[in-house]
């Protein structure tokens, strides 16, 4: 039986339940929120499920980091041309004209397609919204259309905004999530969960020093992972499946097991299309853990795409160890920095939210010396991706510190 988590507003959950039929192969678990900003916390507290369906792109995008950290298959119901046209038709059937409708939409390309298909016969009071906007900001834009352009009805895809407007007595209509779209999404979720389950059967390998543990500790570890193990070149290699490994990494068993180990312990896990690839990736994760100084007892995992995650169980940040797209390739070529270093730098830029920073800030994040950070900045400043934007005045007699800012896509 597939377990499918459905995350959305109370209104969406009700609509979803009305649209689907009972199926013995499926179990739906419903999680309603008052605001889509609650979605990431809901995902963090989910029980074991096979796939997650979100009510829309906003809760999905806000939860994306948590989804990736927990390696959950997830998808969302997209506001497409069909949804937009049905929403407009519903308002027109109530007697409103296109000139009286204020509507928001989530995807510019879908709105552009609708505009072309209707030869431009769409409401002029239409605007895009993003997941950075609050429901109050969406409400304010609609109210401005009421005041400035005499809008008579509001169509919004933000359910919290719709509820607030209706409470105020403003004529409001929720964007339509068609029954056919919901049914299709369930079919897509089944396919995604099935593919994910197939990937769970891939071989996974664990690797650590044979001197790290006693025979009893190794046997206990193998039992918890449902793995077999062998000694090879002063290393112990454990063989299990990706599914069993994932469940172990995200369970309390890992922390309990680590608590009973020596203070210095390094282990790496890897998976791949073949046993050889899985062993190579485990070796990469193990080598990375040996270099890492901050976490004394933790483990790392390199998947078949050469994405390194960890350290488990403290946190599950991700680094790309391989060049996976043209942009990363371009950066590695221009700076002569490794894909791993580029991945860390991009991660720093994202967490820093494109704010100005000093070399000390970068050194602290990368956990390197100031001199190493200076060398990295020197390589980056020669590219179009980093600029010096000012200086930080020193309160003592030292020289002012340069301030930098990234312009990374």
Lowest mean pLDDT among 37-46, 180-189, 221-230, 323-332: 323-332
Task: Compute the radius of gyration of the chain from its Cα atoms.
Answer: 26
Of residues 295 and 80, the one with the higher pLDDT is 80
pLDDT one-digit tens code per residue, 17-75: 999 988 888 999 999 999 888 999 999 999 989 999 999 888 998 998 888 877 789 99
Phi, psi (5° rounding) for residue 391? Answer: -135, 150
Is pLDDT of 369 > 90?
A: no
Task: Give me the helix-helix angle, 215-225 and 242-249, nearest 10°.
Answer: 110
Of residues 252 and 278, the one with the higher pLDDT is 278
pLDDT one-digit tens code per residue, 191-208: 888 877 777 778 899 998
Range among 175-189, 349-363, 364-378 rated most confident? 175-189
End-to-end CA distance of the chain: 41
Overall pTM surpassing 0.75 (yes/no): no
Cβ-contact 190, 198 below 8 angstroms:
no
Confidence of residue 394 (pLDDT cuts 50, 70, 90): low
Write the CA distances from 20 to 6, 7, 184, 187, 192, integer angstroms.
12, 15, 10, 11, 18
The CATH T-level fold of domain 2-77+180-197 is Rossmann fold (3.40.50)
CATH architecture of the domain 326-406 equals Orthogonal Bundle (1.10)
pLDDT one-digit tens code per residue, 81-114: 989 999 999 999 999 999 999 999 998 989 999 9
Q: Is the fold of 2-77+180-197 the same as that of 81-176?
A: yes
Cβ-contact 49, 3 below 8 angstroms:
yes
Domain ranges, ordered by start, for the chain = 2-77+180-197, 81-176, 201-316, 326-406
Give the CATH class of 81-176: alpha beta
Q: What is the pLDDT of residue 353?
A: 67
DSSP state of 179: H
Question: By three-state DSSP, how is residue 123 classified?
Answer: coil
Q: What is the pLDDT of residue 178?
A: 84
157-176 average pLDDT score: 94
382-396 average pLDDT score: 75
Write the CA distances from 92 to 106, 145, 170, integer angstroms.
21, 18, 17
The Cβ of residue 114 has, within 10 Å, a number of other Cβ atoms equal to: 20
Cβ-contact 315, 290 below 8 angstroms:
no
Per-residue b/e over 175-209, b at no fewer than 16 CB within 10 Å?
A: bbbbeebbeebbeebbebbeebeebbebbbbbbbe
Confidence of residue 133 (pLDDT cuts 50, 70, 90): confident
Is pLDDT of 396 > 70?
A: no
C-alpha span between 20 and 208 (Å, rounded): 48
Q: Does domain 201-316 have CATH number 1.20.1250?
A: no
Q: What is the pLDDT of residue 84?
A: 94
Report the percent of the chain where pLDDT is more than 70.
91
Mean pLDDT of the chain: 85
């Amino acid at each position: 039986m597939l377990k499918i988590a459905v995350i959305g507003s109370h209104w969406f959950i009700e609509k979803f339940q009305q649209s689907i039929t009972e199926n013995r192969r499926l179990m739906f678990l419903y999680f309603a929120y008052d605001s889509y900003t609650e979605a990431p916390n809901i995902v963090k507290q989910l029980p074991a499920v096979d796939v997650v369906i979100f009510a829309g792109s906003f809760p999905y995008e806000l939860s994306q980091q948590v989804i990736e950290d927990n390696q959950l298959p997830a998808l969302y119901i997209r506001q497409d041309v069909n949804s937009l046209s049905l929403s407009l038709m519903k308002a027109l059937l109530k007697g409103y004209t296109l000139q009286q409708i204020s509507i928001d939409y989530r995807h510019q390309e879908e709105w552009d397609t609708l505009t072309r298909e209707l030869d431009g016969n769409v409401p002029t009071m239409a605007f895009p919204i993003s997941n950075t906007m609050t429901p109050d900001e969406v409400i304010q834009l609609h109210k401005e259309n009421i005041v400035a352009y005499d809008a008579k009805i509001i169509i919004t895809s933000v359910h919290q905004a719709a509820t607030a407007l209706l409470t105020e007595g403003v004529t409001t209509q929720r964007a339509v999530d068609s029954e056919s779209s919901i049914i299709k999404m369930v079919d897509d979720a089944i396919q995604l969960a099935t593919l994910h389950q197939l990937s769970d059967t891939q071989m996974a390998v664990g690797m650590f020093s044979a001197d790290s543990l006693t025979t009893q500790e190794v046997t206990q570890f193998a039992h918890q992972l449902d793995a077999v193990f062998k000694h090879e070149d002063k290393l112990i290699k454990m063989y299990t499946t990706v599914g069993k490994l994932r469940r172990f990494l995200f369970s309390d068993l890992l922390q309990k097991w680590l608590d009973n180990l020596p203070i210095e312990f390094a282990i790496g896990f890897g998976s791949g299309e073949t046993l050889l690839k899985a062993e190579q990736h485990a070796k990469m994760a193990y080598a990375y853990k040996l270099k890492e100084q901050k976490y004394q007892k933790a483990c790392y995992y390199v998947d078949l795409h050469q994405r390194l995650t960890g350290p488990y169980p403290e946190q599950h940040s991700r680094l790309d160890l391989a060049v996976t797209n043209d942009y990363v390739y371009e950066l590695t070529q221009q700076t002569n920095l490794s894909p791993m270093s580029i991945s860390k730098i991009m991660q720093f830029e994202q967490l820093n939210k494109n704010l100005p920073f000093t070399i000390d800030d970068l050194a602290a994040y990368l956990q390197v010396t100031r001199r190493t950070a200076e060398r990295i900045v020197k390589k980056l400043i020669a590219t179009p991706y980093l600029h010096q934007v000012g200086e930080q005045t020193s309160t003592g007699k030292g020289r002012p510190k340069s301030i930098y800012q990234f312009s990374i896509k």
